Amino acid sequence: MSTVEPGCRFCLANALLIDKPIFQSDAFYMLGSIDPMVPIAGMVIPRRHSQTPFEFTDAEWSAFGAALAMAKNHFASHDPDGFSLGWNVGAVAGQHVFHAHLHIIPRFKGEPNAGVGIRRIMRTPDWKPDA
């Protein structure tokens, strides 16, 4: 698989980002949130183009822990009480940029959605997948 996909805004070589990475390593980089509804958040993104984390190499998975630790450390000054981490994989799951990226959302006691985790999206009454 190529390291750069033409037109992909998360492939750094394409220079399509509207913001600058907060940190970079050999395998990953992190962007902060540009969403005004979620100002304290970020994404850890592989440098090599891959549409999903299922395509990561063993070397990328080995480097991922350090990137995740750097992301957590970046948010330490906000003193979060927890984190929500999530991958949207595929259009039906909400992926809009088809370059893998892990969403990191610091969570705080007293926020409107405190106690609501990512499992809530799976709790749609009366819906069952086709067997």
Please give the pLDDT value at position 12: 96
| pLDDT block averages, 10 residues each, the chain of length 131 | 86 95 97 91 97 97 97 97 96 96 94 81 59 53
Domains along the sequence of the chain with CATH = 12-122 (3.30.428.10)
Please give the pLDDT value at position 1: 47
pTM of the entire structure? 0.89
Instruction: Report the first-to-last Cα separation within the chain, whole angstroms.
Output: 33
Instruction: Report d(CA 120, CA 64) in Å as an integer.
Output: 26
Identity of residue 6: P
